[in-house]
Amino acid sequence: MADITRRLGWRHLRGAPTAHVRHHRSGRLMHDGPGLSFWYRSLTAALSEVPVDDRELAMTFHARTSDFQDVAVQATVTYRISDPALAASRLDFSIDPDTGSWRGTPLEQLGSLLTETAQQHALDVLARTSLASALVDAAVRERIAGGLDAEPRLPATGIEVVAARVVALRPEPEVERALRTPAREQIQQDADKATYERRAVAVERERAIAENELASQIELARREEQLVDQRGTNARREAEELAAADAVRAGAEAARTVRLAEAEATRSLRLAEAEATRKVRLAGAEAQAEREVGAARAEAQAAWLRVHGDVDVATLHALTGTRLAENLPRIENLTVSPDVLTGLLAKLGNGGEPA
């Protein structure tokens, strides 16, 4: 819709780039083209606005197929007005000079024309087509597009069909369910078949997996047997090596013990020989010393005897008494009885001779 403003009895129209505006004044064409902007007087102006952009027309209608089944057709037609002047002369695109709104309903007229034309061709092709063929065939869309292109009224009105699409072709719900049943059963059968095949494949894979596991276990057992044999061989070899090492160690220890025993025996023998030698020497020295001491004692005794041989008996008695007195214990108190004293005095009176 055009944008119209008022200024002191004048009107200013500003059109859109997708709207073709025609301005007549007193029967003469003053302005003609899309996206115009001009001043005019509403009392003398005749204005028309024709949209030139692509427009979508959605349509829904019912038809009957050759097997007497009712279907609902949903289609969409894309069109545009290629000749605005011709369309303005064939349809009422005039607008109010004060508000800019259409005085009639030209787009509804175009919609009715396109819908009736498309419906006519769709009914024609569906009347000669069965329901099953119509649902899977593109003949309806092709016939609608071809019929709109060949319709003489559209070019005569300045309309160009850009594209025609059949969005849906639906039968009645009961028929649709009946048509779905075989396909659904087939799909279910295919699903069951796929399930069985999948199960078979799964069983086969499980069998293959089980065989692989069994083969793996057999291989593992064989390798374990080899490992046990190898471990036994290694253990025997290790025991032999340990035995040989123990034998070498025992031999070395025995040899060392023998050498130590020999050395100890040699050292003991040497010590015994040295001790025997020392004892022999000591015994000889002691014997020599004893011989010398004995000789000295004998010499002293001989000299003592020689000295005492020349002394008289009284002197010897005196020496003997003196030596005896030296060897007697010390006498602190001496008690002399009268009998003893009388005897001693008698001896003294007799000159030491016994009475």
Angle at 114 between CA 56 and CA 18, to 5 degrees: 45
Cβ atoms within 10 Å of 45's Cβ, excluding its own? 18
Give the C-alpha separation, 251 to 265, whole Å. Answer: 20
* pLDDT, tens only, 17-63: 889 999 999 889 999 899 899 999 888 899 999 999 999 999 888 88
Tokens matching residue 162: 């850009």
Give the C-alpha separation, 40 to 21, whole Å. Answer: 13
Give the C-alpha separation, 37 to 31, whole Å. Answer: 9
| Identity of the amino acid at 114 | L
- pLDDT attached to residue 311: 64
- Mean pLDDT, each 10-residue run in order, the chain (355 residues): 83 89 90 90 89 90 84 89 90 88 89 88 83 75 82 88 85 78 82 87 89 89 89 88 88 87 85 83 81 81 70 68 66 66 71 49
Reference 12, options 50, 35, 57, 42; nearest CA is 42
Give 262: exposed, middle or buried? Use CB within 10 Å, 0-12, 13-18, 19+: exposed
Cβ atoms within 10 Å of 271's Cβ, excluding its own? 10
Tokens matching residue 79: 């069109």
DSSP string, 224-275: HHHHHHHHHHHHHHHHHHHHHHHHHHHHHHHHHHHHHHHHHHHHHHHHHHHH
- pLDDT attached to residue 328: 61
At which residue do the structure tokens 């609902």 appear? 72
- Asked whether 166 and 73 are in contact (CB, 8 A), the reply is yes
- Asked whether 38 and 12 are in contact (CB, 8 A), the reply is yes
Q: Computed over its alpha carbons, how large is the radius of gyration of the chain?
A: 80
3-state secondary structure of 163: strand
pTM: 0.49
- pLDDT attached to residue 81: 92
DSSP-derived secondary structure letter, 109: H
CA separation (Å) from 215 to 69, 93, 207, 209, 330?
A: 65, 88, 12, 10, 123
- pLDDT attached to residue 355: 45
H or E element that contains 297: helix 173-309
